[in-house]
Amino acid sequence: MDRIITIGRWQWKAFWRRFNRAGNLNAGNQGILLIFSVLILIRYLAALQKAAIDLPQGKTSIFQSLLLGIFIVWMFPLVNNAHTNISTRKLLHLPLRNVELFCIRLITLLFPPYAWLIVVGSLGICYPIIRARNPIAGVIAACLFIGFSALTGVTIAQLASLSVFRKLFFAALMLGGLLIFYFGYNYGAERVLSLVSSLPASPVTSAAMGTQSWLAICELVVLTTAAFFAALWSFQKSLEVTSKPRSRKPGLVDALRIPGAIGGLAAKDFRYFRRLLDPYLGVLAAALGCLYLVTAEISSAGLFQVFVLSVFVGNSPLAFNSFGLDNRAAMDRLKLMPLTGTTILLGKNFAFVMVVALQLAPLMLLGFWRLGFFIGLSGIAEGVAVAAMYLTWGNFMSVNYPFKMQFFQFTSSKDVVAEVLAGIIFGSLPGIITIYLINTNEFGAAWKIALTLFLSGVLYFLSVVRVGRGFAKKHDRIAAAVS
C-alpha cells in the first residue's frame, strides 16, 4: 500500500505539472467549456428535482434515464484516457504486482478535474433517492451502481487496445444502434428508451422503491465484483499488447490508391485513420441512415441530408487534426522528403475523402433508389461541398492547432473546443443551405446548389495553397505538439 500511495503522489504532481504547462489551455476554450458545463449542470439539476418529485409517487422513468446517463458518462472519459494507460506501462520496470499497477491506474483516473465533476454528478443521484421509500438501501445500491459503471468503463477502455475486442465492440455498437433505431421506428421512441434505460438501472430502482431491496443490493454487489475482476483481467491483457510486424497484403487501399506521392501519403493516413474510434461514429450514422431509407414508407429528403451531415460530424477529427496520429519521426521524414506542404496536405485530405466516401457510398445509392435522381444528385453535391468546407477549416486547424491523438481512442479535443465547434458549423453550411433549398422547393434550387459547390471548391483550393505554403514554418511546432 505504501508503494501505491508514493507512486500515486508522484503521478499526481506530474499530472498537474502537465496541466499547468503554458499553452495547454487557452482562455477562450475555458470559457466555452464553462458555458457547456453550466448548461449541462442546470439541466441535470432540473432533472434531479423532477426525479425527486416523481420517485415517491412510483414514477421511475426520469430516475432510470438519469442512471443510464451516469452509466454512459463513465464510459467516454475512460475510453479517451489513453495517457493514463501509457504512464502505467512506464512503471512495468518497477517491482510491482499487476494488482498494484491496476490500483495505481484506478487512482490516476481520478486526477483530471472532469473526473471530479463526474463523481460529484454521479453522487447527485442520491438526492431523489433520499425521498424514496427505502433511502438507505437506495443510496447503497446507487454507490454500487456508480462503481459498476466506472469499472465497466475501465474494462472497455482497456480491451479497446486488443484487435479482437475492437471488432466485437464495433459489431455490438452497430447491432445495438440498428436494433434501437428499428424498434424505435416501429414501436415508438419512448417505449424503447424506457426499455433501454431500465436494463442497467432496475436493481437501483428496486432497492430505492423498497421492493426486494437487499436482493437488488446483492445483485449489484455481484455485478460490481464481476466488473472489478473483468477490469483487472483486461488490464493484464492490455499490458501484454506488443506491436507485431504485419505483412502488407493488397487490399482496398491499394485498389483506391492514386499514383504519385499523394497516393502514398494518402494510403498511410488511411491506415492511420481507420485505427481511430471516431470514424466508426460516422459508420454508425451512415448505417442508421441506410436503415431509415430501407424501412421508411415515405422517405424524407431533409432527413436523408441530415444523415449525410452526421457522417461528417463523426469524421471531423480526421479533417481538423490530420497530423494528430503522426509522431516526431514521421514529421522528420516529411521534412526530409522532397515534398511541398501543399502535397502533404493533399495526401491527408485525400485520405479523409476516402474514409468519408466509403461510408457515404451505400447511403447515396439508397438515396437515388428511394428519393429519386435529383435528391440523390443533390446529396452527392452536398457531400462534396461539405467535405471541401470541412477540409478548408481543417487544413487551417491541423497546422495551427495540432494536438496528439492516440490509436484506438476517441479524440479528446478539449483544448480546442471553440475551434472545433466553429469548424463543424462552418463545414456544415453547404449542407444546411442544401436542406433549406430542397425542403422549401425554391425555384432554381439546382443552380444554387451548384453555386454552393463551386464556392466551397474555391475556398478549399485557396486554403490548401495558402496553408501549404506556410507548412514549413509550422513544421517544428506541429512535430512538438504530436510528440
Q: What is the share, in percent, of the chain residues with pLDDT greater than 70?
A: 78
DSSP state of 57: G
Q: How confident is the model at residue 462 (pLDDT cuts 50, 70, 90)?
A: very high
Residue 428: pLDDT over 80:
yes
What is the residue whose three cell numbers read 519521426? Answer: 329
Q: By the 8 A CB rule, do 75 and 156 touch?
A: yes
DSSP state of 468: H
Q: Which three cell numbers stand for residue 124?
A: 447527485
Position 79, amino acid: V
For 237, the 3-state DSSP assignment is helix
Dump pLDDT digits (tens) for 235-252.
887 776 544 444 455 455
Residue in 369, 387, 368 with CA at minimum distance from that of residue 377: 368
Q: What is the rounded distance in angstroms from the CA atom of residue 357 to the CA atom of residue 384?
A: 9
Q: How confident is the model at residue 31 (pLDDT cuts 50, 70, 90)?
A: very low
Q: By the 8 A CB rule, do 283 and 173 touch?
A: no
For residue 89, what pLDDT is reported? Answer: 61
What is the residue whose three cell numbers read 499488447? Answer: 241
The helix (H) or strand (E) run that includes residue 437 is: helix 417-439
Q: What is the rounded distance in angstroms from the CA atom of residue 27 to the CA atom of residue 34?
A: 10
Dump pLDDT digits (tens) for 120-137.
888 888 888 888 888 888
CB atoms within 10 A of CB 395: 27
What is the residue whose three cell numbers read 497484403? Answer: 249
